[in-house]
């Protein structure tokens, strides 16, 4: 099959995936003068096509703009067998990857997240520290124009954000008042959306539809600046390119490039001296497991047997509070208005280890009175007359425009039984074997969510909520996909080293969130990009010494 692939010119670097991590590598490597080709299975999205500025936006969010590929069923998505998973993975296939529909919540990991074994006796320490990644986090923040407020007491001193905080609005102030009353930590929410024009991005307009895509070109995603800048610098971007396998030369013991199917269904071969995989926590192991050779019959770079294992998906809880006053709770950003880390660090008296961050958000549009980003969460029971007729109008009067919510992001500990494998039968529209996800929510995660949901309800009541709704675990909540190609110093217990280099293949690298040894309890994009920047800078600095094909 591979011999049929049309030959291409050889690049210094082939990157697979144009999301947050792949775009970091593309931007800085192109700036450093390296020749870079980027294969992206999705296509460009015109921000004008996002549904957020249209009256039907919430309806569209339930299908064609749903964050779950299995719901969208778009031709560019690959199907995922999730029958044995408690949680539905969420992602996008597009130039810019899942950042096109992420919330833009910019929450970096804390010092303890890199030392969970030492501090809490669970999982593994990272091969580097919070302090090691901090300069890279700051570099990325300044490239993105993060809006925020300096001085958050949940972190060591970090310096200021490049743009001022976006207003937290009536809902943010209301939620903060509850935490203030309880004496609990809170902080205005940092977001990956500038409050002033910045590096090609418009200021956030507070439209409040961030997770349906940003019509304003204000919420950062790679397609808005990193990718276009890189193309100007010489990047060759190939959208609609679905990688079937990375080729490994058994004699040279190096990877030589990748075979992909272009958008016309033709098989192509892309040659490169070095390959960097940035396909996300499900896409990356899928490609490696589909890349079999004499040396690697069980999948590329899989001598440890750990490719695909230790899948982590943050347990996600939702607590809504309804207030007896008009809060204009359809206003954005969404985006975070505020955050709290009050219960982030381990306190074993709670019956679990590690913790969670809460993001305080507005209730959203009118259809969201019973749901969250396209998914119905709170289902009515009993006779339909209890929920419909005049009762429906009264429910809308009581809740719409008067709702705040806490999105609870808990830490998920790694377990080898939670894994991405290749499904025996399922294939994508190009016939490439599709992934299967096996995932069970752990007892620790369940206890963590129960505790945090109860505290969040207390915080809602302290803020003056007259009614609360608690959903301790949503199925369609796999926003944060981590693990499956874990990073570590021991080649028997990890797939890549501290620089994202595969232990088994010296010119194969992974820069995405699949390398995270643990998941933290915070939205991961900031740390994914900081780590990708760290690995990228190391590769640039060491490029003379890299063993290439």
Partner 1 sequence: MDKLNDEDRKTFAVLADYLIPEYGNKPKATAVGVHQELLDKVLAVRPDLSTDFIRGVRFAAGNDVSDALNTLNKDDRIAFDAITLVATGGYLMSETVREAMGYPGQEPAPYDPHETPEYMTNGMLERVTLRGPIYRPTPRDDD
Site residues for partner 1, 366-425, by CB under 8 A, read 366-367, 376, 383-385, 388-390, 392-394, 396, 400-401
Neighbours of 330 (CB within 10 A): 20
DSSP letter (8 states) at residue 363? -
Which residues from 491-520 bind partner 1, rule CB under 8 A?
none
Tell the smallest beta-carbon distance from residue 359 to partner 1 (Å).
16
In this structure, are residues 201 and 194 in contact, taking their beta carbons and an 8 Å threshold? yes
Collapsing DSSP states into helix, strand and coil, what is residue 231? helix
Collapsing DSSP states into helix, strand and coil, what is residue 43? strand
Is the Cβ of residue 114 or residue 260 nearer to partner 1 in the bound state? Answer: 114
| Contact code string over 427-466 relative to partner 1, x by CB under 8 A | ----------------------------------------
Is the Cβ of residue 55 or residue 297 nearer to partner 1 in the bound state? Answer: 55
Is the Cβ of residue 48 or residue 183 nearer to partner 1 in the bound state? Answer: 183
Rg (CA), the chain: 22
**243 bridge partner residues:** 260
Is the Cβ of residue 56 or residue 424 nearer to partner 1 in the bound state? Answer: 56
Which residues from 295-314 bind partner 1, rule CB under 8 A?
none
Is the Cβ of residue 167 or residue 228 nearer to partner 1 in the bound state? Answer: 167
Please report whether residue 154 would count as binding partner 1 according to CB under 8 A: yes
Please report whether residue 4 would count as binding partner 1 according to CB under 8 A: no
- Dihedral angle computed from the Cα positions of residues 163, 168, 173 and 179, in that order, rounded to the nearest 10 degrees: -70
Which residues from 36-65 bind partner 1, rule CB under 8 A?
52-53, 55-60, 62-63
Please report whether residue 121 would count as binding partner 1 according to CB under 8 A: no
- Binding-site member from 153, 160, 417, 541 for partner 1 (CB under 8 A): 153
* Burial class for 319, CB neighbours closer than 10 Å (0-12, 13-18, 19+): buried
In 3D, which of 22, 395, 80, 57 has the Cα closest to residue 222? 22
In this structure, are residues 528 and 106 in contact, taking their beta carbons and an 8 Å threshold? no
Tell the smallest beta-carbon distance from residue 106 to partner 1 (Å).
16
Which residues from 204-233 bind partner 1, rule CB under 8 A?
205-209, 216
The three state secondary structure string of 277-330 is ECCHHHHHHHHHHHCCCCCCCCCCCCCCCCCCECCEECCEEEEEEECCCCCCCC
Tell the smallest beta-carbon distance from residue 131 to partner 1 (Å).
6
Please report whether residue 151 would count as binding partner 1 according to CB under 8 A: yes
Q: Which two tokens stand for residue 484?
A: 């499956």
The three state secondary structure string of 47-108 is HHHCHHHCCCHHHHCCCCCCCCHHHHCCCCCCCCEEEEECCCECCCCECCHHHHCCCCECCC
Which residues from 317-346 bind partner 1, rule CB under 8 A?
326, 330-332, 341-342, 344-345
Is the Cβ of residue 315 or residue 364 nearer to partner 1 in the bound state? Answer: 364
**H-helix or E-strand spanning residue 523:** none
In 3D, which of 202, 163, 245, 225 has the Cα closest to residue 24? 225
Is the Cβ of residue 366 or residue 431 nearer to partner 1 in the bound state? Answer: 366
Tell the smallest beta-carbon distance from residue 204 to partner 1 (Å).
9
Q: Which two tokens stand for residue 354?
A: 């590690």
Tell the smallest beta-carbon distance from residue 111 to partner 1 (Å).
4
Is the Cβ of residue 377 or residue 546 nearer to partner 1 in the bound state? Answer: 377
Which residues from 79-118 bind partner 1, rule CB under 8 A?
110-112, 114-115, 118
Tell the smallest beta-carbon distance from residue 377 to partner 1 (Å).
13
Which residues from 165-194 bind partner 1, rule CB under 8 A?
165-168, 173, 176-177, 180, 183, 185-188
Tell the smallest beta-carbon distance from residue 56 to partner 1 (Å).
5
In 3D, which of 322, 476, 290 has the Cα closest to residue 405? 322
Size of interface with partner 1, in residues (CB under 8 A): 75
Tell the smallest beta-carbon distance from residue 205 to partner 1 (Å).
4
Tell the smallest beta-carbon distance from residue 521 to partner 1 (Å).
12
């Amino acid at each position: 099959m591979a011999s049929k692939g049309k030959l291409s010119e050889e690049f210094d670097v082939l990157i697979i995936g144009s999301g947050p991590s792949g775009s970091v590598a593309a931007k800085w490597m192109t700036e450093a003068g390296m020749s870079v080709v980027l294969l992206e299975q999705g296509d460009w999205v015109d921000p004008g096509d996002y549904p957020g500025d249209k009256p039907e936006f919430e309806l569209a969010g339930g299908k064609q703009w749903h964050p779950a590929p299995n719901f969208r069923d778009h031709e560019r998505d690959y199907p995922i067998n999730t029958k044995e998973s408690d949680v539905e993975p969420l992602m996008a296939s597009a130039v810019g990857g899942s950042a096109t529909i992420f919330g833009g919540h910019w929450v970096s990991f804390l010092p303890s997240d890199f030392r969970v074994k030492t501090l809490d006796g669970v999982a593994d320490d990272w091969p580097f520290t919070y302090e090691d990644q901090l300069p890279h986090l700051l570099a990325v923040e300044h490239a993105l124009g993060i809006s925020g407020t300096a001085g958050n007491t949940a972190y060591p001193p970090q310096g200021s954000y490049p743009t001022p905080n976006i207003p937290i609005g009536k809902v943010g102030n209301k939620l903060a008042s509850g935490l203030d009353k309880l004496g609990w930590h809170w902080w205005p929410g940092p977001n990956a959306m500038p409050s002033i024009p910045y590096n090609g991005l418009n200021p956030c307009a507070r439209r409040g539809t961030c997770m349906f895509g940003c019509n304003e070109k204000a919420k950062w995603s790679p397609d808005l600046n990193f990718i276009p800048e890189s193309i100007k610098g010489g990047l060759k971007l190939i959208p609609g390119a679905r990688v079937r396998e990375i080729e490994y030369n058994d004699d040279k013991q190096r990877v030589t490039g990748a075979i992909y199917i272009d958008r016309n269904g033709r098989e192509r071969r892309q040659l490169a001296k070095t390959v960097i995989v940035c396909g996300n926590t499900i896409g990356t192991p899928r490609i490696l497991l589909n890349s079999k050779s004499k040396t690697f019959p069980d999948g590329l770079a899989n001598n440890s047997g750990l490719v695909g294992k230790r899948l982590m998906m943050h347990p996600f809880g939702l607590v809504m509070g309804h207030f007896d006053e008009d809060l204009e709770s359809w206003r954005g950003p969404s985006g975070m208005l505020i955050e709290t880390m009050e219960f982030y660090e381990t306190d074993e008296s709670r019956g679990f280890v590690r913790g969670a961050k809460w993001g305080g958000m507005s209730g959203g549009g009118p259809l969201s009175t019973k749901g969250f980003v396209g998914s119905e969460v709170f289902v009515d029971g009993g006779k339909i007359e209890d929920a419909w007729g005049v009762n429906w109008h009264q429910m809308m009067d009581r809740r719409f425009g008067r709702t705040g919510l806490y999105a609870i992001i808990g830490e998920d500990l790694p377990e080898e039984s939670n894994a991405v494998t290749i499904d025996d039968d399922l294939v994508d529209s190009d016939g490439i074997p599709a992934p299967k996800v096996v995932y069970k929510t752990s007892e620790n995660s369940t206890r963590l969510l129960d505790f945090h949901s109860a505290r969040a309800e207390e915080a809602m009541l302290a803020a003056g909520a007259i009614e609360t709704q608690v959903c301790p675990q949503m199925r369609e909540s796999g926003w944060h996909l981590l693990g499956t190609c874990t990073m570590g110093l021991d080649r028997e217990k990890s797939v890549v080293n501290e620089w994202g280099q595969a232990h088994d293949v010296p010119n194969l690298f992974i820069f995405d969130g699949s390398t995270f040894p643990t998941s933290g309890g915070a939205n991961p994009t900031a740390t994914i990009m900081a780590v990708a920047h760290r690995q990228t800078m190391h590769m640039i600095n060491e490029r003379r010494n890299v063993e290439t094909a």
